[in-house]
Amino acid sequence: MTDSPYVDQPDHAFWRSAVAETSPLDLQSIYKRRWPIEADWKIATAGSCFAQHIARYMKAADYTVMDVEPKPNGLPEADAPRFGYGIFSARYSNIYTARQLLQLVREALGQTHPVNLIWEKDGRYYDSRRPGIEPGGFESAAELLDHRVFQLRHVRQMLEEMDLLIFTLGLTETWEHTASGTVFPTAPGTIAGQFDPNIYSFRNFTFAEVYDDLTTVLDLLKAHRDTPLKVLLSVSPVPLTATAEDHHVLQSSTYSKSVLRAVAGQLRTEREDVDYFPSFEIVTNPAARGVFYAPNLRSVTPAGVACVMRSFFAEHAGCNAAQDPTTPKPVTDEDDGDDVVCEEAMLEAFGK
């Protein structure tokens, strides 16, 4: 007979000591980095709304966060996010699903040509892959294509040059162009386009599909690049605004996050070049009793983001020695948690 196999487990392995009796602001050992992020690494960021926070903090800590598609010099900083600039490493806006990421990578590498790219509304033209980047739409289809060609050239540059991709998984639910399988960040008809059930259909990706999509992305990049690439995955703690399933939204949200979390874990287990950062767990920690969520119980408060990033910087100390990266400098009292650009929130305008 031997003692229980749990006897030698550290404190953080036990719910009572690690969660129930620990301040949610001070979770120890919830994240152990797999590899350091070197100061000279070029870092690309992409993903759902929550990834915008990570990008801002990393910039503030003087990491080399790529911006391959910067705003025009004279566009005021305050106007830049409205046009999709400065949010992620290129002007691709939110990438909620693994399929969206795969689609972008394939298009940027010249492996696919876009189908159902242009949506119209009131005589204006919208890029269906990123309908929110031009608030009033483009003047013409030709102008939209100019912007798209410009973007793809720069995304390709990003994919070739980045040393680390930080990708935050957001959703499993999406709308697709049924004939081609093209997916979109918003349902047709939300910002632009028209919803036609004969053309578009709802998809809710399974574990296998998300896993296959991300694996394909990683394999494509590996085949295309000469240098090693690291990938840091996280899962957005922001719940679904709405579900298209015939389920309670809480059930759908739990499904979506569970699948994404499981895929991230699976990939971390299988691949040395993949790490997982538990932003989802930090924010949804029951010990926090929802305090990290804004009154809408979706948006993460500045305090919640700061708490997440403290755990991150505890393992990745940041490049700026003069500035304590655990101090939430980029976030001011004026931030209310809704300042991130999130097309998904557009759905609220259609909510009951």
Partner 1 sequence: MSRVCIIGNSHLGAFKLALDAGDMPGISDRYEFDTFGSIRASILQTRIVSQRLVPTRKDVTENFERTSGGQSEIDLGQYSAFVIAIRNSPFWIRPFLADTQIMPISRAMVAAIHRNFLDDWSIDLTARIAEVVPKARVFFVGRPLNTQKDKVARKLLRQFDGPDEHSQVAIKDTVLQYLADAVASQPVAPKVDLVRPPNHLLEPHRLFTLAKYARGAQDADTGLKQVFKDDDTMHMNGAYGREMLTHMLAPL
Nearest to partner 1 of 72, 197 (CB atom): 72
Going residue by residue from 146 to 185, which x/- string records binding to partner 1, judged by CB under 8 A? Answer: xx-xx-----------------------------------
Q: Convert residues 58-97 into a mask of x (bound to partner 1 by CB under 8 A) and - (unbound).
A: -----------xxxxxxxx--x---x--------------
Indicate the residue among 12 and 71 with the shorter CB distance to partner 1: 71
Cβ 77 to partner 1 shortest distance, Å: 10
Give me the 110-149 binding string for partner 1, x by CB under 8 A, dash otherwise: ------------------------xxx-xx---x--xx-x
Residues sharing a CB contact under 8 Å with residue 338, sequence separation 6 or more, in sequence order: 294, 299, 345
> Based on CB atoms, which residue is closest to partner 1, 134 or 176?
134
State the DSSP string of 72-116.
Answer: PTTS-TTTGGGGT-SSSSSS-----SHHHHHHHHHHHTTS---SS
CB of 187 vs partner 1, minimal distance in Å: 24
**Euclidean distance between CA atoms 318 and 91, whole angstroms:** 25
* Per-residue binding letters, 230-259, with partner 1 (x by CB under 8 A): ------------------------------
Residue 335 C-beta: closest distance to partner 1, Å? 22
C-beta closer to partner 1: residue 35 or 150: 150
Q: How far is the CB of 149 from partner 1 (least distance, A)?
A: 8
Q: Which amino acid is at 159?
A: L
Cβ atoms of residues 127 and 117 within 8 Å = yes
Contact indicator for 123, 78 with CB cutoff of 8 Å = no
Contact 96, 170 (CB under 8 A): yes
- H helices of the chain, where? 15, 49-60, 98-108, 141-161, 207-224, 249-270, 279-284, 302-315
Residue 126 beta carbon to partner 1: minimum distance, rounded to whole angstroms = 12
For residues 264 and 277, what is the distance between their CA atoms, to the nearest angstrom?
A: 9
CB 184 within 8 A of CB 344: no
The strand pair at 274-276 and 230-235 is best described as parallel
In the complex with partner 1, which residue's Cβ is closer, 140 or 206?
140
Residue 63 phi, psi dihedral angles, 5° rounding: -70, 155
Pick between residue 65 and residue 282 the one whose CB is nearest to partner 1.
65
| 266/49 Cα distance (integer angstroms) | 23
**Least separation in angstroms between CB 71 and partner 1:** 7
Closer of 135 and 290 to partner 1 (Cβ): 135
Q: What is the binding site for partner 1 (CB under 8 A)?
A: 69-76, 79, 83, 134-136, 138-139, 143, 146-147, 149-150
